[in-house]
Structure 1
Amino acid sequence: MESPLSYALAFFFALFLFLSSSSLANASTQLIDDVCKNTINNAECLKILDSNPQALSASSYKDLAQVALGLAIANAEDSQTFINNLLKSDPRDAIKECASSYKAVVASFKSSKAEIEEDPMTANYDAKIAGDDAGNCETALSSKGVKVPAISARNHVVQLYSSIGDVVTALLG
């Protein structure tokens, strides 16, 4: 038969584990809140990061930067593939410019992620530039009178990821 002391110890151990995991979750949620409130769209940033288990388990801004830039790269690569496929059936100059812009977007996000450890300032610059490249795509579309809502929506999301990357890498320095 188990002693009441054994039950009490088991209860307190379980309570300790629950409270410590809860405080870790609160810490990562606070990191996300600190980043998102300084981006171009707090609500959309929270939607992206709060729905990602890796972001929710980040224990530092460095961890969160790795996760956010990983998400940015995946999104940019998906958009690049979409634009390159569209270009096959619609070879207008504006879409060609977007294909070129997205090559730069992907490269900038990859460079930013690679620089997190060694050079946070360069990581910050590269994250910011990725958004500028998506803006160049949007400018190419509008200046040539080309309306492709799917590309414009992707440009908006890249600019949000750029803002997230910009904010979180600025917190590393």
Structure 2
Amino acid sequence: MKLGAANVKATLNVYDEITKKPGSPQALKALNCCVETYKYAILSFEMVSSELVEGPQTANYDVAVIGPEIANCEKELIDAKVKNPRLLARNQFMKYYIEMGYEITSTLELENPNEY
């Protein structure tokens, strides 16, 4: 989860860098949407570790809810015709971290259903 949070922070830095460059109002709106999404994702990934103590089901939920937010970010970028390979790659990495986090928390949930 820490690796996921670190990746999210690095991606947020990329978005921040790109939002400072001139672009269309639609592109800026889409980029800002993604910035907010990644801020939310940082909080979610950081909460997961502490929530594992409470129960993996809560941690699993916090990882799972990031996915639709990233999908919305991608849709905003596509609709605004923002074509940036760096952003596309970072969003893809994000999906991998979400999937890994989801699988890890799901496995913990199944292995130790009464321990949490």
The unaligned stretches of length 5 or more in structure 1 are: 1-68
Q: TM-score, normalised by structure 2?
A: 0.83
Contact 1:97/1:137 (<8 A) preserved: yes
* Deviant stretches of 4+, over 4 Å: none
What's the offset of the Cα at 1:114?
2.1
Structure 2 partner of 1:132:
68
Q: TM-score, normalised by structure 1?
A: 0.57
- Matched position secondary structure for 1:110: helix
- Matched position secondary structure for 1:156: helix
The unaligned stretches of length 5 or more in structure 2 are: 110-116
Structure 2 distance, partners of 1:98, 1:106, is 12
Contact 1:106/1:130 (<8 A) preserved: no
Aligned length: 105
Distance 1:89-1:123 versus aligned 2 partners, 3 A rule: same
What's the offset of the Cα at 1:147?
1.1
Note if 1:94 corresponds to 2:47: no
Picking from 71, 80, 96, the partner of 2:12 is 80
1:81 corresponds to which letter in structure 2?
N
Larger Rg: 1 or 2? 1
Higher relative contact order (CA 8 A, sep 6+): 2
How well do the aligned residues superpose, as a CA RMSD in angstroms?
1.3
**Alignment of structure 1 residues 1-173 onto 2, 5 Å:** 69-90=1-22, 92-173=28-109
Contact 1:115/1:122 (<8 A) preserved: yes
2:55 corresponds to which letter in structure 1?
D
Contact 1:112/1:123 (<8 A) preserved: yes
1:49-95 Cα deviation digits (max 9, x unpaired): xxxxxxxxxxxxxxxxxxxx111000001101111121112461111
Structure 2 distance, partners of 1:133, 1:108, is 12
